[in-house]
Chain A
Amino acid sequence: MNTLPFVDSATIEGELQRLWQETAETTTGGEAVTRALTLNLIARATDLAMAERISAVAGELVASHPNRTLLAICRPEEAPPRIEAWVQANCLLSGPGVPQVCGEQISIDARGPVTAQIASLILALLAPDLPVVLWLPGPAPFDDPLLTRLLGVIDRLIIDSRDLADPAGDLRRMAAFDRDPGTPPGGARRVTLSDLGWAALTPWRELTAQFFDTRPLLPHLRRLDQVEIGYVPAGERLNPMPGLLIAGWLAACLDWTPLEEAVSVEGATLRLHLRRPAVGVGPRAIRLVTIIIAPVGAPGAAPGLATLRLRALDGVSADFHVQRADEQGHILTSAEVAGHVPVRRLTRCVAPSLAELLAAELRLLSRDAMFSAALQTAARFTAGLESPGTSTGA
Chain B
Amino acid sequence: MNDVVATPLENPLRAGLRLWRTPEPCIVVIFGASGDLTSRKLVPALYNLARERRLPGGFSVVGFARREWDDSTFRQVLLEAVNANSRAGPVEEALWASFAEGIFYHRASFDDPAGYARLAERLAAIDAARDTGGNRVFYLATPPEAYAEIVAQLGAHGLNRSPGGGWTRIIIEKPFGRDLESARDLNRRVLAVFDERQVYRIDHYLGKETVQNLLVFRFANGIFEPIWNRRYVDHAQITVAESLGVEDRGGYYDRAGALRDMIQNHLTQLLTLTAMEPPVAYDADAVRDEKVKVLRAIRPIAPEDVERITVRGQYGPGSVSGRPVRGYREERGVAPDSQTETYVALKLFVENWRWAGVPFYLRSGKALPRRVSEIAIQFRGAPTLLFADTPVNEIEPNVLAIRIQPDEGITLKFSSKVPGQAQIRPVTMDFRYGTSFGVASPEAYERLLLDCMLGDSTLFTRRDEVEASWALLTPILEGWAAGAPQDFPNYEAGAWGPAAADAFIARDGRAWRRL
- For residue B50, give the distance in angstroms from its CB to the closest CB of chain A: 7
- Check B434–A343 contact: CB distance below 8 A: no
Cβ–Cβ < 8 Å partners of A346 in chain B: 94-95, 97-98
- Check B95–A348 contact: CB distance below 8 A: yes
- Check A364–B13 contact: CB distance below 8 A: no
Q: In this assembly, does B475 line the interface, its C-beta being within 8 Å of a C-beta of chain A?
A: no
Q: In this assembly, does A66 line the interface, its C-beta being within 8 Å of a C-beta of chain B?
A: yes
Cβ–Cβ < 8 Å partners of A63 in chain B: 438
What separation, in Å, do the CA atoms of A281 and B437 have in the docked complex?
52
A-B contact count (CB 8 A): 132
Q: In this assembly, does A212 line the interface, its C-beta being within 8 Å of a C-beta of chain B?
A: yes
Residue of chain A at shortest CB distance from B127: A341
- Check B98–A203 contact: CB distance below 8 A: no
B1-25 residues at the A interface, CB under 8 angstroms: 9-25
- Most chain B CB neighbours (cut-off 10 Å) among A64, A210, A221: A210
What separation, in Å, do the CA atoms of A333 and B131 have in the docked complex?
14
One of A101, A213, A360 near B56 (C-beta < 8 A): A213
Q: In this assembly, does A218 line the interface, its C-beta being within 8 Å of a C-beta of chain B?
A: yes
Cβ–Cβ < 8 Å partners of B24 in chain A: 213-215
Cβ–Cβ < 8 Å partners of A328 in chain B: 94
Cβ–Cβ < 8 Å partners of A208 in chain B: 13
- For residue B407, give the distance in angstroms from its CB to the closest CB of chain A: 8
- Check B434–A101 contact: CB distance below 8 A: yes
Query: Do A206 and B19 form a contact, CB below 8 Å, given A212-B13, A343-B57?
Result: yes
- For residue A324, give the distance in angstroms from its CB to the closest CB of chain B: 13
Q: In this assembly, does B439 line the interface, its C-beta being within 8 Å of a C-beta of chain A?
A: yes
Cβ–Cβ < 8 Å partners of B52 in chain A: 348
Q: In this assembly, does A49 line the interface, its C-beta being within 8 Å of a C-beta of chain B?
A: no
- Check B57–A101 contact: CB distance below 8 A: no
Query: Do A209 and B13 form a contact, CB below 8 Å, given A202-B18, A341-B131, A346-B94?
Result: yes
- For residue B196, give the distance in angstroms from its CB to the closest CB of chain A: 23
A200-257 residues at the B interface, CB under 8 angstroms: 202-203, 205-216, 218, 221, 250, 253-254
Cβ–Cβ < 8 Å partners of A66 in chain B: 435-436
What separation, in Å, do the CA atoms of A210 and B57 have in the docked complex?
8
Cβ–Cβ < 8 Å partners of A99 in chain B: 432, 434-435
Cβ–Cβ < 8 Å partners of B25 in chain A: 214, 343
- For residue B26, give the distance in angstroms from its CB to the closest CB of chain A: 10
Task: Count residues of chain A with CB under 8 A from any CB of chain B.
Answer: 55
Query: Do A215 and B9 form a contact, CB below 8 Å, given A343-B131, A347-B95?
Result: yes
What separation, in Å, do the CA atoms of A214 and B165 have in the docked complex?
12
- Most chain B CB neighbours (cut-off 10 Å) among A215, A253, A328, A333: A215
- For residue B25, give the distance in angstroms from its CB to the closest CB of chain A: 6
- For residue B104, give the distance in angstroms from its CB to the closest CB of chain A: 15
Cβ–Cβ < 8 Å partners of A340 in chain B: 131
Q: In this assembly, does B178 line the interface, its C-beta being within 8 Å of a C-beta of chain A?
A: no
- Check A333–B130 contact: CB distance below 8 A: no
Q: In this assembly, does A386 line the interface, its C-beta being within 8 Å of a C-beta of chain B?
A: no
One of B12, B15, B57, B92 near A344 (C-beta < 8 A): B57
Q: In this assembly, does A34 line the interface, its C-beta being within 8 Å of a C-beta of chain B?
A: yes
Query: Do A218 and B11 form a contact, CB below 8 Å, given A99-B434, A206-B19, A347-B98?
Result: yes
Cβ–Cβ < 8 Å partners of B133 in chain A: 214-216
- For residue A67, give the distance in angstroms from its CB to the closest CB of chain B: 12
One of B14, B95, B130, B435 near A343 (C-beta < 8 A): B130
Q: In this assembly, does A271 line the interface, its C-beta being within 8 Å of a C-beta of chain B?
A: no
Query: Do A206 and B437 form a contact, CB below 8 Å, given A214-B131, A214-B133, A364-B17?
Result: no
- Most chain B CB neighbours (cut-off 10 Å) among A203, A213, A364: A213
- Most chain A CB neighbours (cut-off 10 Å) among B22, B97, B130: B22
Residue of chain A at shortest CB distance from B56: A210
Q: In this assembly, does B146 line the interface, its C-beta being within 8 Å of a C-beta of chain A?
A: no
Instruction: Fill in one digit per residue for B391-432: 1 if any A CB lies within 8 Å of its CB, else 0.
Output: 000000000000000010000000000000000000000001
Cβ–Cβ < 8 Å partners of A348 in chain B: 51-53, 92, 95
- Most chain A CB neighbours (cut-off 10 Å) among B19, B57, B95: B57
- Check A210–B17 contact: CB distance below 8 A: no
Residue of chain B at shortest CB distance from A326: B94
B439-475 residues at the A interface, CB under 8 angstroms: 439
Query: Do A253 and B57 form a contact, CB below 8 Å, given A99-B432, A346-B98?
Result: no
Q: In this assembly, does A116 line the interface, its C-beta being within 8 Å of a C-beta of chain B?
A: no
Q: In this assembly, does A327 line the interface, its C-beta being within 8 Å of a C-beta of chain B?
A: no
What separation, in Å, do the CA atoms of A92 and B95 have in the docked complex?
30
- For residue A201, give the distance in angstroms from its CB to the closest CB of chain B: 10
What separation, in Å, do the CA atoms of A294 and B131 have in the docked complex?
32
- Check A221–B438 contact: CB distance below 8 A: no
Cβ–Cβ < 8 Å partners of B77 in chain A: none
Cβ–Cβ < 8 Å partners of B23 in chain A: 213
- Check A341–B97 contact: CB distance below 8 A: no
Q: In this assembly, does B385 line the interface, its C-beta being within 8 Å of a C-beta of chain A?
A: no
B92-132 residues at the A interface, CB under 8 angstroms: 92, 94-95, 97-98, 128-131
Cβ–Cβ < 8 Å partners of A206 in chain B: 19-20, 22, 53
- Check A333–B57 contact: CB distance below 8 A: yes
One of A64, A212, A333, A341 near B438 (C-beta < 8 A): A64
Q: In this assembly, does B58 line the interface, its C-beta being within 8 Å of a C-beta of chain A?
A: yes
What separation, in Å, do the CA atoms of A214 and B25 have in the docked complex?
7
Cβ–Cβ < 8 Å partners of B94 in chain A: 325-326, 328, 330, 346
- Check A209–B14 contact: CB distance below 8 A: yes
Return 27 A-B CB contacts under 8 Å, by A number.
A36-B436, A97-B407, A101-B438, A203-B53, A205-B13, A206-B22, A210-B53, A213-B22, A214-B24, A214-B25, A215-B133, A218-B10, A253-B15, A254-B13, A328-B94, A330-B94, A330-B95, A335-B57, A341-B128, A343-B57, A345-B98, A346-B97, A348-B92, A348-B95, A360-B18, A364-B17, A370-B16
Q: Footprint of A on B, CB under 8 Å?
A: 9-25, 50-53, 56-58, 92, 94-95, 97-98, 128-131, 133, 165, 407, 432, 434-439
Closest CB pairs A-B (n = 4): A370-B16, A63-B438, A346-B98, A209-B13
Given contacts A328-B94, A341-B129, A348-B92, 5 further A-B contacts (CB under 8 A): A202-B18, A213-B56, A215-B9, A330-B94, A330-B95
